[in-house]
């Protein structure tokens, strides 16, 4: 901006020299220089871009994309392995649970068998003792019945002796007691 | 026009576009190093610094400069792939060069006191004409004389075809004109308007109306932001139209 006055002077000089309407854009005397240097700039820039900058950026981006793809592949691999490990763990857990259940069932069956056996033994003992007790009760009852017949015979014999001593007949008394027992 | 306003005028909006030799003064010769030459060289150097020096590390995790270069590369590459279509990657360096050069010239032109080579129709016309010739040559090399059917609308009713053909031809040859003037005129107008408001600001101050100077100042701030947008948009438009023309030459609609 500071050089504006100098520029003004040069500009006005140029305008005066060429008599153009004032627009510096239409001062055709400057066109060859502008076009020449534009061509130089474009050729230099095109060379630098197409030979150095763009291939380099393209390679860098490709390398980055490759690196990212590699990392993603690795992550996938790790995820797959983790899933496998989890599956194996679940399997082991299920196996262990099944085994535990089997062992528990076995133990239960064994205990049941022991309990059944003990019950059977107890039943047998009880019925044996019951039979013995019944037998003794019968013996006692028979003995008592026999004792009653003997007492009755004796009593009847004594009675007959006292009332009718001449009609003493032990055999007839025993038969009569037996008939009324 | 500045001369007509007299010595005391503050408004010389076109003076910023004057091309003057940096060494020796006098007439501008073909090989004269001018302010335009200087700023073209600065653009080339800046682009080289960004895309060659900035990417020399080839870092897997990019540095800031490298990621800007990669962003620029990706932006242009995607544009070429999407707009110009199949078989256009061969011309990617050409379009990248065009886009980078125009973008950097436009942006560097926003530095106060700098010069904008792309505000000159000589520059934009050369670039547009180069695109026009390149694209036309590609069209003929790829399709031979069959490329001429590009101008013959087969879908139109018979009697309309010659008329449409003339229109197609005109519109084809107008392409470099609109292509170059769009860019050049946008840059010219933006810079000129900024300068007008700057001159207005100086005039208000010199006229002793101090506080009123806020109005042109505010306008300048807003316009400067707008000009940055225009600087980018026009580079983008130039590059994308180049891609569109290239697509026409490669695929014929």
Q: Is B191 on the interface with A (CB under 8 A)?
A: no
| Contact residues on chain A for B20, CB-CB shorter than 8 A | 7, 10-11, 14
CB contact under 8 A, A30 and B66: no
pLDDT score, position A6: 47
Contact A4 B12 (CB under 8 A): yes
d(CA B79, CA A22): 39
Question: Cβ atoms within 10 A of the Cβ of B96, count?
Answer: 27
Distance from CA of B10 to the nearest CA of A (A): 11
- Residue A45 CA to residue B72 CA, distance in Å, equals 15
How many alpha carbons lie under 13 Å from residue A38 in its C-beta half-sphere? Answer: 26
Contact indicator for B132, B176 with CB cutoff of 8 Å: yes
Whether residues B117 and A34 touch (CB distance < 8 A) is answered with yes
Residue A112 has pLDDT above 50, yes or no: yes
Q: Distances from the Cα of B73 to the Cαs of A111, A144, B8, B55, in angstroms?
A: 82, 130, 49, 11
Instruction: Determine contact, residues B66/B59, Cβ cutoff 8 Å.
Output: yes
Beta carbons of A60 and B66 less than 8 Å apart: yes
pLDDT of residue B8: 54
Pairwise CA distance, residues B121 & B37, whole Å = 15
- For residue B26, the model assigns a pLDDT of 77
Is the Cβ pair A45, B97 closer than 8 Å? Answer: yes
Which among A12, A32, A58 has the least Cβ separation from residue B3? A12
CB contact under 8 A, B117 and A26: no
Per-chain mean pLDDT for chain A: 85
**Residues from chain A contacting residue B31 (CB–CB below 8 Å):** 33, 36
Query: Minimal Cα distance from A20: which residue of B?
Result: B1
Report which DSSP code applies to A79. H
The distance of B248 to chain A (nearest Cα, Å) reads 23
CA of A70, closest CA in chain B: separation in Å? 13
Residues of chain B neighbouring A57 (CB-CB closer than 8 A): 51, 55, 69-70, 73
Averaged in consecutive runs of 10 residues, what is the pLDDT profile of chain B (253 residues)?
49 81 79 88 94 88 91 94 89 95 95 91 94 94 87 81 89 93 93 89 83 86 95 95 93 79
Separation between Cα atoms, residue A164 and residue A157, nearest integer Å: 10
Assess B1–A contact: CB distance below 8 Å, yes or no. Answer: yes
User: Is the ipTM value over 0.85, yes or no?
Assistant: yes
- Biggest CA pair distance of chain B: 71
Domain boundaries, chain A: 12-180
| CA A95 – CA B164 distance, rounded (Å) | 83
Of A2, A22, A52, the CB nearest to B1: A22
CB within 8 Å: B51 and A53? yes
Which CA distances in Å does A101 have to A105, A106, A112, B162? 6, 9, 16, 94
With beta carbons less than 8 A apart as the criterion, state whether B20 and B32 touch.
no
Q: Which of B72, B171, B189, B65 is nearest to B121 (CA)?
A: B189
**CA nearest B172: which of B69, B83, B244, B109?**
B244
Q: Which residues of B fall within a CB distance of 8 Å from A38?
A: 40, 117, 122-123, 126-127
Are the beta carbons of B194 and B227 closer than 8 angstroms?
Answer: yes
Q: How far B206 CA sits from the closest chain A CA (Å)?
A: 18
User: Does B180 reach chain A within 8 Å, measured CB to CB?
Assistant: no
Instruction: Name the 3-class secondary structure at A35.
Output: helix
- Residue among A3, A34, A36 whose CB faces B19 most closely: A34
Nearest to A54 among B32, B96, B121 (CB): B96
pLDDT tens per residue across span A30-71 = 888 889 999 999 999 999 999 999 999 999 999 999 999 999
Q: Give the mean pLDDT of A110-117.
A: 96
Specify the pLDDT at position B97: 95
Tell me the C-alpha to C-alpha distance, in Å, between residue B88 and each of A92, A116, B80, B82: 59, 93, 7, 10
Is the Cβ of B113 closer than 8 Å to some Cβ of chain A? yes
pLDDT per position as a tens digit, A150-163: 888 888 888 888 88
- In this prediction, residue A11 carries a pLDDT of 44
Instruction: Check residue B5 and report its DSSP letter.
Output: T
Contact A75, B160 (CB under 8 A): no
Nearest-Cα residue of chain B relative to residue A1: B113
CB B207, CB B216: distance < 8 Å: no
**B234 interfacial to chain A (CB closer than 8 Å):** no
Contact A60 B62 (CB under 8 A): yes
Residue in B252, B12, B20 with CA at minimum distance from that of residue B136:
B252
Q: Contact, B21 vs B28, CB < 8 A?
A: yes
């Amino acid at each position: 901006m500071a050089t504006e006055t100098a520029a003004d002077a040069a500009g006005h000089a140029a305008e005066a020299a060429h008599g153009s309407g004032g627009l510096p854009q239409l001062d055709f005397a400057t066109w060859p220089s502008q076009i020449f240097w534009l061509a130089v700039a474009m050729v230099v820039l095109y060379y630098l871009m197409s030979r150095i900058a763009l291939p380099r950026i393209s390679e860098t981006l490709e390398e980055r994309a490759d690196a990212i793809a590699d990392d993603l592949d690795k992550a996938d691999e790790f995820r797959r392995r983790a899933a496998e490990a989890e599956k194996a763990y679940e399997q082991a857990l299920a196996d262990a649970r099944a085994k535990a259940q089997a062992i528990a069932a076995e133990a239960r069956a064994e205990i049941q068998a022991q309990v059944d056996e003990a019950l059977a033994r107890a039943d047998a003992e009880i019925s044996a003792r019951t039979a013995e007790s019944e037998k003794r009760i019968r013996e006692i009852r028979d003995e008592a019945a026999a004792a009653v017949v003997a007492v009755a015979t004796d009593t009847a014999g004594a009675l007959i002796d006292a009332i009718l001593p001449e009609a003493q007949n032990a055999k007839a008394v025993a038969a009569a007691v037996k008939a009324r027992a | 026009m500045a001369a007509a306003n007299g010595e005391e005028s503050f408004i010389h909006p076109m003076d910023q576009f004057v091309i003057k030799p940096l060494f020796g003064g006098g007439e501008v010769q073909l090989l004269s190093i001018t302010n335009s030459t200087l700023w073209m060289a600065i653009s080339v150097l800046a682009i080289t610094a960004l895309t060659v020096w900035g990417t020399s590390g080839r870092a897997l995790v990019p540095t800031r400069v490298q990621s800007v270069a990669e962003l620029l590369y990706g932006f242009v590459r995607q544009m070429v792939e999407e707009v110009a279509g199949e078989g256009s990657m061969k011309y990617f360096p050409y379009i990248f060069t065009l886009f980078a050069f125009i973008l950097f010239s436009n942006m560097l032109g926003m530095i106060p006191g700098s010069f904008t080579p792309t505000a000159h129709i000589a520059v934009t016309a050369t670039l547009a004409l180069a695109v026009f010739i390149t694209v036309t040559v590609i069209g003929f090399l790829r399709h031979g004389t069959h490329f001429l059917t590009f101008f013959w609308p087969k879908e139109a009713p018979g009697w309309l075809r010659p008329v449409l053909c003339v229109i197609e031809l005109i519109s084809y040859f107008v392409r470099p004109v609109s292509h170059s003037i769009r860019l050049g005129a946008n840059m010219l107008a933006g810079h000129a308007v900024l300068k007008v408001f700057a001159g207005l600001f100086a005039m208000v101050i010199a006229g002793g109306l101090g506080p009123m100077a806020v109005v042109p100042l505010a306008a300048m701030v807003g316009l400067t932001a707008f000009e940055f947008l225009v600087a980018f948009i026009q580079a983008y438009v130039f590059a994308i139209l180049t891609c569109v023309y290239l697509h026409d030459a490669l695929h014929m609609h």
